[in-house]
Amino acid sequence: MKIVVGLGNPGKEYENTRHNTGRILVGLIEKKLQDKKISAKGGPASGWKFLTPDTFMNNSGKAVVALVKNKKDLKDLIVIYDDIDLPLGKIKISFNRSDGGHNGLGSIIKSLKSEGFLRIRIGISPSTPKGIVKKPSGEKAVLNFLLGEFKKPELEIIKKLSKKVAEIIEMIFKEGREKAMSIYN
């Protein structure tokens, strides 16, 4: 089974926050791929599981470990999440790396006892016209930024990314992560 996880926090109060970028995208992507499945019987989304954990971000690993039964399953796991170090709308695919300070990802790595899975990082920070990230500094400012709601134009950028992220996921599962990373990174 192919597993696509969108990180975020459950609950209405977190629905459109920057930290819920993974949840937002997985909701949109699942719909796109399920629509394809309906239009092409047994299409791209057959055998896929889309997960938006009902746990809070820092406990995401509990939900993921229930689906990943052994180390072989790691090759079929993709985790989508927000990345404060990337400019808004930038996508970066990575594999077998540390959590980079992201607590949700850290929880998954700890629960799986492995970093050996694919991640699709989605930039959420404002940037200068030259693409230099302008992220907040200080723990409290970062937390307020992450838990702050997207402005309407920012949310539209994230929603528009869903088509591209769906294409990336399909390519990863059909043609391999190396090809997807060479095209989309």
DSSP string, 89-124: T-EEEEES---TT-HHHHHHHHHHT---SEEEEEEE
Contact 82, 21 (CB under 8 A): yes
- The model's pTM is 0.92
* pLDDT by position in tens, the chain (length 185): 899 999 999 999 999 999 999 999 999 998 777 666 544 444 455 678 999 999 999 999 999 999 998 888 899 999 999 999 999 999 999 999 999 989 999 999 999 999 999 999 999 999 998 889 999 999 999 999 999 999 999 999 999 999 999 999 999 999 999 999 999 99
Predicted confidence at residue 47, as pLDDT, reads 78
Known active-site residue 102: no
Predicted confidence at residue 37, as pLDDT, reads 52
Predicted confidence at residue 39, as pLDDT, reads 43
Where are the chain's structural domains?
Answer: 2-184
Conformational region of residue 25, where left means phi above 0, alpha means psi within -120 to 50, and beta covers everything else: alpha
Catalytic residue among 19, 23, 119, 177: 19
Q: How is domain 2-184 classified at the CATH fold level? A: Rossmann fold (3.40.50)
